[in-house]
């Protein structure tokens, strides 16, 4: 077959290590063997880009999924999904899930003593437009305790899941809020040793996006693994 346009190598420090002792749950779950390096084949440079209808309808307003509005501070989160060259990634699925305003997830295993909101499920999904843009309306999630270490609290965060054009562009990340006093104490956020890498997970407050007397606006762009400009034969 002819050459494939392959995805670029991932430089060290781009993603967290799986072996990261400060996050206790990694201890028995990170592989001890280094990953085996393999060439990218047609299997990897393709990936799920359609057929997401079966996941259900698009849900971009998480505050209005029930009979009454959700409790909490309404926010708008808008941004673009881009590749490493700044090119927009159009028509790709963006999934979002989160805790409610009190810091409680709608999940059986969440035992935090904080109320569930009957009017807030905490999950949404959308697709980017032709310019790679997405937008959600939701509630600012609360911080919540966890048992990683003494008096451990997760900073407020949204979970995002993205696909992009191939199996190799898949990303699951978390979006944090600027100025959160818990950020310096959170081992998951600080699993990235580089300040610039950490800041790529923090949204920015944006007055232009803020709707008067309705909701604060936050901007959050997400950048997926980049790609070579031209096809190459396999590196042997």
Partner 1 sequence: MSGATPFQTVGPFFRFGLVFEGCDQPVGAPEGSRITIEGVIKDGAGAPVPDALLETWQADSAGRYHHPEDGRAGSEKPFDGFRRTATDPEGRFMLTTVKPGTAPGPGNRQQAPHLLVGVFARGLLTRLVTRIYFDDEAANDQDPILERVPADRVKTLVAKRIGDGRYRFDLVLQGEGETVFFAP
Q: Which long-range contacts (CB under 8 A, 24 or more apart) does 59-62 make?
A: 59/123, 59/124, 59/125, 59/126, 60/124, 60/126, 60/135, 60/136, 60/137, 61/124, 61/136, 61/137, 61/138, 62/96, 62/98, 62/120, 62/121, 62/122, 62/123, 62/124, 62/136, 62/137, 62/138, 62/139
74 is an active site residue = no
Catalytic residue among 15, 91, 159, 170, which? 159
Site for partner 1, residues 126 to 185, rule: CB under 8 A: 159, 161, 166-168, 170-174
The residue within the footprint of partner 1, chosen from 1, 67, 130, 150 (CB under 8 A), is 1
Catalytic residue among 23, 134, 144, 176, which? 144
Please state, in angstroms and rounded to a whole number, the distance separating the CA atoms of residues 137 and 101: 14
Site for partner 1, residues 109 to 128, rule: CB under 8 A: 109-110, 121-123
- Which is nearer to partner 1, 210 or 226 (by Cβ)? 226
157 is an active site residue = yes
- Which is nearer to partner 1, 171 or 216 (by Cβ)? 171
The residue within the footprint of partner 1, chosen from 69, 88, 90, 226 (CB under 8 A), is 226
CA angle 194, 101, 94 (to 5 degrees): 60
- Which is nearer to partner 1, 135 or 170 (by Cβ)? 170
176 is an active site residue = no
Catalytic residue among 7, 105, 176, 218, which? 105
Q: Which residues 6+ apart lie within 8 Å of 202 measured at CB?
A: 175, 176, 177, 178, 183
Least separation, in Å, of the C-beta of 9 and partner 1?
9
Q: Does 192 bind partner 1 (CB under 8 A)?
A: yes
Site for partner 1, residues 37 to 66, rule: CB under 8 A: 37-51, 54-56
Least separation, in Å, of the C-beta of 7 and partner 1?
8
Please state, in angstroms and rounded to a whole number, the distance separating the CA atoms of residues 175 and 203: 7
Q: Does 89 bind partner 1 (CB under 8 A)?
A: no
Query: How many CB atoms are closer than 10 A to CB 182?
Result: 16
Catalytic residues: 105, 144, 154, 157, 159
């Amino acid at each position: 077959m002819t050459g494939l346009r392959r995805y670029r190598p991932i430089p060290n420090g781009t993603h967290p290590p799986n072996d990261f002792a400060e996050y206790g749950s990694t201890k028995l779950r990170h592989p001890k063997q280094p990953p085996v390096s393999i060439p990218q084949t047609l299997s990897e440079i393709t990936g799920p880009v359609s057929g997401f209808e079966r996941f259900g309808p698009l849900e971009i307003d998480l505050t209005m999924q029930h009979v009454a509005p959700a409790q909490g501070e309404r926010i708008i989160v808008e941004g673009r999904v881009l590749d490493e060259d700044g090119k927009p990634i159009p028509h790709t699925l963006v999934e979002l899930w989160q805790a409610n305003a009190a810091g409680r997830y709608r999940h059986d295993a969440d035992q935090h003593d904080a109320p569930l909101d009957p009017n807030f499920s905490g999950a949404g999904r959308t697709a980017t437009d032709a310019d790679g843009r997405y937008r959600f309306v939701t509630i600012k999630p609360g911080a919540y305790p966890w048992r990683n270490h003494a008096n451990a609290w997760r900073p407020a965060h949204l979970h995002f899941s993205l696909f992009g054009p191939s199996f190799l562009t898949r990303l699951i990340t978390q979006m944090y809020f600027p100025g959160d006093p818990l950020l310096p104490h959170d081992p998951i956020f600080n699993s990235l040793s580089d300040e610039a890498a950490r800041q790529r997970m923090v949204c920015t407050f944006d007055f232009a996006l803020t709707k008067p007397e309705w909701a604060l606006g936050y901007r959050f762009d997400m950048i997926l693994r980049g790609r070579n400009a031209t096809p190459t034969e396999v590196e042997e």
